[in-house]
Amino acid sequence: MNCRETQQLIDAYADGEVDLVRSVELEAHLQDCGSCMQALTSTRAIKDAIRGASLRFEAPKGLESRMVSAVRKETSHATKAVRTIRRPLLSRTMWAAAAGILFAAVAAFAGWRALNGIGAPDTVADETVSSHVRSLMANHLFDVASTDRHTVKPWFAGKLDYSPTVIDLADRDFPLAGGRLDYISGRPVAALVYRHRKHVINLFEWPVRAGDFDSNAVLMTGSLNGYNTVRWSRSGMAYRAVSDVAMADLKQFATEIDRAAGL
C-alpha cells in the first residue's frame, strides 16, 4: 500500500470502518511512513476535538417569544387579507405568507449573528490551532530544522504537489526555524516554523481550492482556545498563522510575510 492509497483510507480507518485485510496492509504502511502516521494522528485528534466540542448555538433570550409574536401578528394580517380572495386561492396565499414570514425571521436571525460577530463556522481554524498545540506538546516542531530558507524550501520537494513560499524574516525579529509536513482540511500542507523572542509561530500554507474558507486576500484575525490566528490568501495560496504572541505582533508577522510573498 502506498501513501496515496493510505491517505484515501485514513478517515475510514480512524472510524474503524476498514476491513481486516486492508487494515493490516494500512498498519504495515503506517509503521514505515512517518508522514502518513502524522496524518492519522491529526485525523484522530480532530475527531476527538469535534466530539468533545460544544457545537450548539444558544439563541438570545426572548428571541423565541418575539418570533412567535411576529408570526401570530403576520398570520392574523394574512388571514384577514385572504378572506377577500376566492377560496381556491386560499392555500396558495397562506403558503406565500408563511414563506415570507419564515424568510424574514431567518434574515433577522442572520443579521443578529452578523452584528454580534458570529459568522460561518471556520473548521480550519480548529485544525490549525490543534496542529500548533500538538507540535508543541509532542515535540514535533520540525521535520527539517534550519534557519536557511534554501535548506527548508528544497526539503518539501517531492513531498507536496506545490512549492511553498519560504521567507526568512530574521531582520524583522521573526527568524525562520524550520518546517514540517502537516495535514489540514484533508490535504498535506507545508507548516513553516518561525520564532518571535520566546514564542513559536506556525505558518500553514497550501493552494486555495474552489469554495475554500481562505479565498479572501484580506488579513482576517481571530482567536481560539487562547491562541491568536491570522488568515489571508495571495496569488492562489492560503496562509494561516497561529501563535500565542500578541495579536499586534502576529498581524505584523503576517503583513511582513504577505509583503515579501508579493515581491
The three-state secondary structure class of 232 is strand
For the segment 16-39, the average pLDDT, to the nearest whole number, is: 82
> Which segments within the chain are labelled E, that is strand?
144-145, 176-184, 187-196, 199-207, 220-224, 227-234, 237-243
Contact 203, 257 (CB under 8 A): yes
Q: What is the mean pLDDT of residues 22-33?
A: 84
CB-based contacts of 74: which residues, under 8 Å, 6+ apart? Answer: 97, 100, 101
Q: 34-52 vs 20-32: helix axis angle to the nearest 10? A: 120
Judged against a pLDDT cut of 70, whether residue 40 lies above it is answered with: yes
Res 28: pLDDT: 86
Find residue 206's DSSP bridge partners: 238
Which residues make beta-bridge pairs with 162? Answer: none
Residue 112 above 50 pLDDT? no
User: Which residue is it, cell 513531498?
Assistant: 159
Torsion of CA 176, 177, 179, 183, to 10 degrees: -90
Q: What is the pTM (predicted TM-score) of this model?
A: 0.55
C-alpha cell at 214: 481562505
Domain spans, the chain: 3-52, 63-115, 123-261
Q: Cα-flanking dihedrals φ and ψ of residue 207, to 5°?
A: -70, 140
pLDDT value of residue 83: 58
CB 187 within 8 A of CB 43: no
Is the confidence at residue 98, as pLDDT, over 50?
yes
> Between 243 and 99, where is the model more confident?
243
Q: Which three cell numbers stand for residue 114?
A: 452578523
**How confident is the model at residue 7, as a pLDDT?**
79
The CATH number corresponding to 123-261 among 3.40.50.620, 3.50.50.60, 3.30.200.100, 3.40.50.10420 equals: 3.30.200.100
Structural contact between residues 121 and 105, judged by C-beta atoms closer than 8 angstroms: no
With contact defined as beta carbons under 8 Å apart, do 205 and 192 qualify? Answer: yes
How far is the C-alpha of 60 from the C-alpha of 18, rounded, in Å? Answer: 43
**For residues 215-244, average pLDDT:** 86
Any residues with CB less than 8 A from the CB of 53 and at least 6 apart, and which? Answer: 126
